[in-house]
Amino acid sequence: MAIFEVDGTRIAYDRFADDAPSHAVVLLHAFPLSRLMWEPQTEDLRGVWQLIVPDMRGHGASDVASEATTMERMADDVHALVESLGVAPVVLVGLSMGGYVALAYTRKYPGEVKALVLADTRATADSEEARAGRYALIEEVAATGPSVVAEKMLPKLLSAKAIETKPELVVAVRRMIETTSPAGIAASLAGMAERADSTDVLPTIMVPTLVLVGSEDAVTPESDARALAEAIPNARLEVIEEVAHLSNLENPGEFNRLVKEFLTNLDAKTE
Ligand code: MLT
């Protein structure tokens, strides 16, 4: 793990295969997880592509810096990191909150994105009800700590089948949630509650885009993924069957196969 400092805030990240000749690929994690959720991808992809895997501020080993961390702030952190490593333009792979950050990045730095993988995410802002739910959860986390988030979110992050048959995966996801600081959880909840609608950005995205979704994703369902793929001119949608929101963890084999195929085609196009 390495540390990068931006405006006095320490951002932790992993970098794999910095000598790989092909694209730099940045993996952006979901809420309230950390860069560790990408382990099944880094193990498989690191031999071919350079991978940069940050902990968003407030998550993993990065600092928490403010009461609300906007998606733009996270995008700026990632951009500053990419600049400091001298690897722009990059391929952004974002899952859920990571997808919100990828869209914010694309809006702010459109010429610096080579391709996008948007997994289990959406472009729309929160409904009033969802926003109220996030603020209620901020209160609960302040009162009882992150385990309340694990209790509420685990049944939505993973399918019933995974919860029943993959106890080690449940333990790993729970650990990531429970080791996230209450302040970090609150900052990201507030940032997601206030995030802008990114629907207007979608028709302006001209880079190759892969949209992935688990067929049982109840947090950002297939209809959200379909809307992304229909609005982005150069996008392809792939549904990963029988998995829920954390599709990269529930079926890493299929997730990695689709991402590798996408990146390989990208290599061929830019050769
Ligand atoms: C995530 O997985 O990043 C979150 O569930 C996204 C959200 O709460 O909107």
Residue 177 beta carbon below 6 angstroms from any ligand 1 atom: no
Q: What is the DSSP pairing of strand 113-119 with strand 2-6?
A: unpaired
Residue 56 beta carbon below 6 angstroms from any ligand 1 atom: no
From the CA of 134, give the closest atom in ligand 1. 8
219 Cα: distance to centroid of ligand 1 (angstroms): 7
Q: Give, for all 271 residues of the chain, the pLDDT tens digit.
A: 999 999 899 999 999 987 777 789 999 999 999 999 999 999 999 878 999 999 999 999 999 977 899 999 999 999 999 999 999 999 999 999 999 999 999 999 999 999 999 999 999 999 999 999 999 999 999 999 999 999 999 999 999 999 999 999 999 999 999 999 999 999 999 999 999 999 999 999 999 999 999 999 999 999 999 999 999 999 999 999 999 999 999 999 999 999 999 999 997 876 5
From the CA of 120, give the closest atom in ligand 1. 2
From the CA of 189, give the closest atom in ligand 1. 8
**Cα–Cα distance for residue pair 193/18, rounded to 1 Å:** 35
What single-letter amino acid sits at 38?
Answer: W
127 Cα: distance to centroid of ligand 1 (angstroms): 14
Q: Say what the alpha-carbon torsion angle 77, 249, 262, 270 is, to the nearest 10 degrees.
A: 30
Q: What is the DSSP pairing of strand 235-240 with strand 50-54?
A: unpaired
Query: 5 phi and psi, to 5 degrees?
Result: -110, 130
Contact 50, 87 (CB under 8 A): yes
Residue 31 beta carbon below 6 angstroms from any ligand 1 atom: yes
Residue 96 beta carbon below 6 angstroms from any ligand 1 atom: yes
**Cα–Cα distance for residue pair 87/76, rounded to 1 Å:** 15
